[in-house]
Amino acid sequence: MTHPNLLVELFVEELPPKALPNLGAAFANAIADGLRSQGLIAADAAVTSFASPRRLGVHVAGVAAKAEDRAVVQKLMPASVGLDPAGQPTAALVKKLAALGLDAQAAARIRREGEGKSETLYVDTVAPGATLADALQKALHEAIARLPIPKVMTYQLADGWTPARFVRPAHGLVALHGADVVPLEALGLRSGRETRGHRFEAQADPIVLADADSYAAQLRDQGAVIAAFDARRAEIARQLAAAAAHAGDGLRPIDDPALLDEVTALVERPNVLLCAFDPAFLDVPQECLILTMKANQKYFPLLDTQGRLTNRFLVVSNIAPADPSAVVEGNERVVRPRLADAKFFYDQDRRKRLEERVSGLDKVVYHARLGSQGERTQRVRAIARSIAEQIGGSDLAGLADRAALLAKADLLTDMVGEFPELQGVMGRYYALHDGEDRLVAEAIEDHYRPRFSGDALPGNEVGLCVALADKLETLAGLFAAGERPTGDKDPFALRRHALGVVRMLDEKGLRLRLSDLLVAAIATLPLPLQGDWTDAGEYILDRAQGYYVEQGFDPRAVDAVVGPLGGTTPLATLRSIMVEATDFIARPEGQVLAAANKRITNILKKAEVQTPLFFSPHLLPNKPDPALFQADAERTLYAALLEFGEESLALQKDGQFSRALAVLVPLHEPVTRFFDEVMVNVDEQAVRDNRITLLQHARAYMNLVADLSRMAG
């Protein structure tokens, strides 16, 4: 049987644009979930969300007017309580049945389950299916209550006295099942079939909806509204591309999905218009002009084929007059003072060199326990010089020191004060204007990179040194100040800083040890670290493990390599080890060794024998005594350790970590034979201790470059 479709719409005042996509999806999903839970729609029923500046709606396919009745097994009470010795219902059972709305005849349907004292009485009943009106009323209330509203408004209903709370005042409610109105009440409204279209360009007011399926078409044709968010967004994108193509010269609108979403949430009838501004403003850095137009006016700047800003831009209007010239002129008039402000800030800022602003950072508080931005600048300079000396010597150190000195100076400029998003970007422009080295100027901008997931890394070594120094100082300092992130709270973006450190060390192939970098950073702090470098180091390595898993490495290989080795071995080196470790555990021999290593670790733990990871077997206090070997398997394992283990040790000392792991594969046979043929915990003390020592050496040889016990399945 085919069921009619359902349409529900809340007509409201203008909704917050940045929240609109989430509000629309949440409203639609909540209504559908409520109907689905009551058995009124199929699990795969088609659900279409509608969200415009003044409405939230949902269209659900195939909605039953009433759910099917369903069989219910009702647990009553213990048989000893519900039945007398003659097997007849007791007063307690009769009362229970009455409470359930069952008459005395229901006693005939009572059945027993269980035996003895656990015997229990059950009755089979039929629960009537929910009606659409009742189920939809409940679903609507739940949808309204569960909406992810950024800020709730309190307003009065039409009577002027009764308060209501919602994201915006609601003025209309539509509920149509096919062509029939479903009687509902919410937010002081009663459902009907009337809605409203565009404020100025609707052909009918109100719009009387014929049925649930005509909603989108009637709003489009009679109300001049594209109700579906995705359809409206696609139409805006199409018009933007068409307008840019019409403008010629290979122009294209700036690619900004967030801006496109926001504009889609601001208009009901999009109409893209081409506008222009005075070309003289193009002397201002294009980042300033683009941000001004996007942030303040929601315009789409047009770029040429080289990605340079032109003096033309696109406006998404909410009206479509026959003569759009007044709209175009109005927007061109509005944007001019905004661009003039940007030009004024730019001209004023260039009157003072960045270097002259550095002293002002002493008056800017960075953190109550870590001092001012000026003090922080000196710490970053020291760390950057140290990193640069290791990477490129004194010349690079000099440039890194200069860049670190100037890196935060643009925070005191008018332009960054107006647009904080331009920090670093304006520093580069002002440094070039001051005659600073190009590498220094680029580093001022790049030291904030990577600013988000997937962002580009610094483009030159100077920027790389300062970016690393800046993030390491932040991590070391804030951990020392007790600002470790907890749960979902990360006010200082330490996760992003940690991932940035990991990416730079790994992707740039830097042969720097994380422990050394953090020790250098900690040495600059004005207060003692709470713990040692491993506190911040472990946090960074946690981010590193997630990063490498996302890169496609086997999580077991990541755990075996990064956790134990990350602080003392360059991350760039760990990548090559993990490549080999991933291949290693994919082989049967590797799994055998990993399982054996875990078994050895457990035996040594029970014997209370400590064997540090990545510890040379030559430094162990005791050595196996071949004279005490009683089984060939002992002698074979010892000989294999001296052959393959020593080869692995030599490769490890030479920095050939991946090969050091690969040569251990032949150990799987003697290790397996040892456990098959040798009992470790024998009665004879000397033999038992000798076998423990042999296993201690085996673990040391096998764990030179990775903790194999963590790789066991």
- pLDDT tens track for 338-355: 999 999 999 999 999 999
Neighbours of 539 (CB within 10 A): 18
88 burial (CB, 10 Å; 0-12 / 13-18 / 19+) is exposed
Q: Is the peptide bond before 89 cis (omega within 30 degrees of 0)?
A: no
pLDDT, residue 698, reads 81
In three-state secondary structure terms, 665 is helix
Q: Which of 59, 38, 41, 39 is nearest to 50 (CA)?
A: 59
Average pLDDT of span 278-303: 95
Task: Let me know: does 599 contact 672? Beta carbons within 8 Å.
Answer: no
pLDDT-derived band of residue 107, with 50, 70 and 90 as boundaries?
low
The percent of residues in the chain predicted with pLDDT above 90, rounded, is: 58
Residue environment code for 151-177, b if the CB has 16+ CB neighbours within 10 A, otherwise e: eeeeeeeeeeeeeeebbbebbbbbbbb
Model confidence pLDDT, tens digit, residues 377-433: 999 999 999 999 999 999 999 999 999 999 999 999 999 999 999 999 999 999 999
For the record, the structure tokens of 624 come out as 């196996």
Amino acid type, 608:
E
- CATH 1.10.730 residue ranges of the chain are 580-711
**pLDDT for 529 beyond 70:** no
pLDDT, residue 464, reads 97
Q: Which of 427, 296, 448, 418 is nearest to 361 (CA)?
A: 427
pLDDT-derived band of residue 596, with 50, 70 and 90 as boundaries?
confident
Model confidence pLDDT, tens digit, residues 77-90: 888 777 888 778 88
pLDDT, residue 675, reads 84
User: Which residues pair with residue 371 across a beta bridge?
Assistant: 367
Residue 158 carries which DSSP code? T
Average pLDDT of span 5-13: 96
- The C-alpha atoms of residue 41 and residue 26 are separated, in whole angstroms, by 18
The CATH code for residues 580-711 is 1.10.730
Average pLDDT of span 595-618: 74
User: Which residues pair with residue 156 across a beta bridge?
Assistant: 163
Non-local (6+) Cβ contacts of 659 within 8 A are 580, 651
pLDDT, residue 599, reads 83
- The C-alpha atoms of residue 656 and residue 664 are separated, in whole angstroms, by 13
**CA-CA-CA-CA torsion for 497, 499, 502, 508, nearest 10 degrees?**
-90
Amino acid type, 663:
V
**pLDDT for 125 beyond 80:** no
Pick the CATH number of 359-551 from 3.40.50, 1.10.3210, 3.30.1490, 1.10.10: 1.10.3210
**CA-CA-CA-CA torsion for 625, 626, 627, 631, nearest 10 degrees?**
120
Model confidence pLDDT, tens digit, residues 32-75: 999 999 989 998 999 999 999 999 999 999 999 988 877 777 78
**pLDDT for 159 beyond 60:** yes
Q: How many CA atoms lie within 13 A of 589 on its CB side?
A: 13
pLDDT, residue 536, reads 86
Cα angle value 404/408/413 (rounded, 5°): 145
For the record, the structure tokens of 211 come out as 């049925």
Cα 102 to its chain centre, rounded Å, is 53
Average pLDDT of span 597-601: 81
Backbone angles phi, psi at 310, to 5 degrees: -105, 175
pLDDT, residue 612, reads 62
Q: Which of 172, 177, 173, 170 is nearest to 133 (CA)?
A: 177
Task: Let me know: does 9 contact 173? Beta carbons within 8 Å.
Answer: yes
pLDDT-derived band of residue 654, with 50, 70 and 90 as boundaries?
confident
Task: Let me know: does 677 contact 631? Beta carbons within 8 Å.
Answer: yes
pLDDT, residue 485, reads 86
Q: Strands 153-156, 189-190: parallel, antiparallel or unpaired by DSSP?
A: unpaired
- The C-alpha atoms of residue 617 and residue 597 are separated, in whole angstroms, by 15
